Amino acid sequence: MTDTTPPCPRRFGRFAAGLAIMPLLAGCSHAHLSFLAPQGPIAAAQRDHFWLVIAITLVVVLPVFVLTPVIVWRYRYGGRAAYRPRWSFSRRLEYVIWGIPFLIVGILAVFLWRQTYALDPYNPLPADNEPLHVQVVGYDWKWLFIYPDQHIATVDELVFPDDRPLALELTSDTVMQSFFIPSLGSQVYAMNGMVTRLHLAADGPGRFRGENSQYNGKGFHTQRFTARAVSDATFSDFVERVRRQGRALDRPTYQILDGRNTVPELARALDGTGDDALRFSAIPDGLFSAIVAGVPIQSLLPGPVVTSARQTPLHQPQGGTP
């Protein structure tokens, strides 16, 4: 498969204030990490809002930085400046120190209100094309991406056409997790028995680092994945390939997937190598809603019935743990 990684962030001028972080962003490795180098409209709006709030807040913050040293120097012990030990109130100053923060907070509140509504992750994104529906399930310590319309699924790999927004539905088959692709936009919790929604889009083709940001046990730090925005044709190829070469999600496989293991452990347990090791073809309808409803998945899947609890017992790592 071809990767069309674009050059590093294009609009450097916009965030001169982020100089401290820039060298590292500019040296961006294989995947985009930060919303400060946004790769989609949501992250870009968040980046803009971020700098805007900083700029507005500086109105009250800068005077403290500047005036504190000045005051300490000018009114130092042994200095000659006026000494008024009983002076402790000035009506005019009170207006300033209460008024200006109120004003600032008022202005910020307007932006906050607008942006909160505009960037609500449940809002579908305006686009010419239909969004791509993906259902995301959090397991211990990997993500399963179900493409309901394509009837395929992948582990820790989210591939989508760059000209279509993503419409994600999220849940967790284990503890609470937080689904997060920083360079594209917001993070949202994924919780057992519940469905949260998230809409994202990419500006163009690229690879973006995704992660779970909510601690969920010892494999937590490995729960990273790559989201890839690709051209329409590449996406079709990808779907075709998974349908052809992906493995069947049968009962034993699902049981291992549902266990507590990291992606390398999972791959080893499934005895898989290569690109297609963790891609599944022929996903039945209703898998996602069955997971949300907490009904046994067994009936939906082919293969021999395995006696498994939905929750894997602890300290007995399932399947692939060496």
Looking at 185, 246, 317, 319, which residue binds other proteins (CB under 8 A)?
A: 185
Q: Kindly indicate which of the ranges 116-124, 239-247, 264-272, 273-281 contains the residues binding other proteins, using the contact rule CB under 8 A.
A: 116-124
- How far apart are alpha carbons 215 and 263 in whole angstroms? 16
Q: Which is nearer to other proteins, 162 or 169 (CB)?
A: 169
Looking at 150, 154, 187, 234, which residue binds other proteins (CB under 8 A)?
A: 187
**Which pair of tokens denotes residue 87?**
């002076």
Work out how close the CB of 243 gets to other proteins at its nearest, in angstroms, rounded to a whole number.
Answer: 30
- Non-local CB neighbours of 221 within 8 Å, separated by 6+ positions: none
Work out how close the CB of 304 gets to other proteins at its nearest, in angstroms, rounded to a whole number.
Answer: 25
Q: Is 154 in the site for other proteins (CB under 8 A)?
A: no
Q: Is 9 in the site for other proteins (CB under 8 A)?
A: no
Helix (H) or strand (E) holding 248: strand 247-248
Pick from 116, 118, 117, 158: nearest CA to 135: 158
Given CA atoms 33, 38, 44, 50 in this order, what sign does their dihedral have? positive
| Count of residues interacting with other proteins (CB under 8 A) | 99
Work out how close the CB of 77 gets to other proteins at its nearest, in angstroms, rounded to a whole number.
Answer: 5
Looking at 4, 14, 108, 243, which residue binds other proteins (CB under 8 A)?
A: 108
Pick from 208, 165, 200: nearest CA to 42: 200
The answer to whether 117 and 270 are in contact (CB under 8 A) is no
Q: Which is nearer to other proteins, 1 or 59 (CB)?
A: 59
One-character DSSP codes across 119-184: T-TTSPPP-SSPPEEEEEEEETTEEEEEETTTTEEEESEEEEETTS-EEEEEEESSS-EEEE-TTT
Q: Is 314 in the site for other proteins (CB under 8 A)?
A: yes
Q: Is 19 in the site for other proteins (CB under 8 A)?
A: no
* Interactions with other proteins, residue window 25-64 (CB under 8 A): 25, 27-29, 33-36, 43, 45-46, 49-50, 53-54, 57-58, 60-61, 64
Work out how close the CB of 285 gets to other proteins at its nearest, in angstroms, rounded to a whole number.
Answer: 20
